[in-house]
Amino acid sequence: MNYKIALIRGDGIGPEVVDEAVGVLNTVAEKFGHQVEYVDVLLGGCATDAVGKSYPDGTAERCKTCDAVLLGAVGGPKWGADKPAEQRPETALLALRKDLGLYANLRPASLRPAMTDACPLKKETADKGIDLMMVRELTGGIYFGKRNKYQTEDRGMEATDLMAYSEQEIERIGRRAFELARLRRGKVSSVDKANVLETSRLWRNVMHRLAAEYPDVQYEDVLVDNCAMQLVRDPGQFDVVVTENMFGDILSDEASMVTGSIGLLPSASIGDGAPGLYEPIHGSAPDIAGQDKANPIATILSVAMMFRYSFQRAAEADAIERAVDAVLAEGWRTPDIAKPGEKAVGTREMGRLIREKVNMI
């Protein structure tokens, strides 16, 4: 097959982890006889520096000419919250997700077999296994509601961010969750704050309607604060966790750490048409950028998700996942997952080891 892939390297460790993921992508493509063409797309702080805007004109259109998008990470202190919105890297990422219609963000958090020692939870909890799929709504809610900031008469400045959800937005993400659960262990946990928020009460009503349509899927409501607690008490209880945009952002970082490191967790952002966007869940990690310390596995596993969800190529995805597991099983660790005193390898060496294993599988 021929695949055309947009590459958004981004800021901080973004280019470092994307380089290793592209190396693995090329190795897999060669092994399975695919041709890959890359289109570089500028987005984020690096775009602000180059052209004065974090989301240059025509970005979404360039991505739409491709079969999938691979993104490293964007952001950094140089382009902080004090900058105008059009110069902030995060604004660009949100605009791209919206313009590509990527409403479903799949964030699988699983404790890989060789990583049980990296799980910070009690041994008995880790031994039970963790394999959950966070399904985060990605183009609605408080991330996209109207914002305002104004001077009050007697309380200084005041700011507002509107959280809004329509039934249609909730239903389409809910269906994704139920469909995914059917292919997994058949359980959906819907996370909300229905004891306080009107958006959550609407969310819950729609989810209950869907649950009746999927009687073969076990369904439960979980309040978000309880979910945060359950994720560290007994994460093995979860299969598919579906939730709104901001809750999903926060809970997926928490779930990542439970499985060892944020440097391990990939994601797929998909809508109803091509192209999907694949990116690690972590950010640009300015504290370790440019030091060959970043763990490239989250981005490499995002390439596996690209093969699985955009190209319907399970064998290629499996080859990448098996190569990652084999390298971890041999004890190779980047600094984020190394035990104290244990020798770690750098970003580039981890990428090389995984490419080598792909070729051997």
Which residues in this chain contact Mn ion in the complex, by CB under 5 A?
Answer: 249
- Backbone φ and ψ for 14, nearest 5 degrees, come out as -50, -55
CA gap 263, 335 in Å, rounded: 10
Q: Which one of residues 294, 301, 303, 354 is an interface residue with ligand NAD (CB under 6 A)?
A: 294
Which residue do the tokens 């579906």 mark?
A: 242
Q: 259, 115 in Cβ contact below 8 A? A: yes
Q: Which one of residues 12, 14, 72, 75 is an interface residue with ligand IPM (CB under 6 A)?
A: 75
Stretch that binds ligand NAD, among 52-60, 112-120, 172-180, 293-301 (CB under 6 A): 293-301
For the window 71-110, what string marks contact with ligand NAD as x by the rule CB under 6 A? Answer: --xxxx-------------x--x-----------------
Residue 287 is a binding residue for ligand NAD (CB under 6 A): yes
Residue 67 CB neighbour total at 10 angstroms:
18
- The footprint of ligand IPM on this chain (CB under 6 A) covers a number of residues equal to 6
Residue 14 is a binding residue for ligand IPM (CB under 6 A): no
Q: Is 19 a catalytic residue?
A: no
Instruction: Choose among 264, 252, 336: nearest CA to 297.
Output: 264
Q: Is 99 a catalytic residue?
A: no
Residue 350 is a binding residue for ligand NAD (CB under 6 A): no
Q: Which of 193, 239, 278, 309 is catalytic?
A: 193
With a CB cutoff of 8 Å and minimum separation 6, the contacts of 134 are 105, 106, 107, 108, 109, 241, 243, 248, 251, 252, 255
Q: Provide the minimum distance between the beta carbon of 250 and Mn ion in the complex, in angstroms, as a whole number.
A: 8
In order, the DSSP letters of 138-155 are -SSGGGTS-EEEEE-SSS
Residue 305 is a binding residue for ligand IPM (CB under 6 A): no
Q: Which of 19, 161, 234, 253 is catalytic?
A: 253
Residue 254 is a binding residue for ligand IPM (CB under 6 A): no
Residue 281 is a binding residue for ligand IPM (CB under 6 A): yes
Q: 138, 203 in Cβ contact below 8 A? A: no
Residue 93 is a binding residue for ligand IPM (CB under 6 A): yes
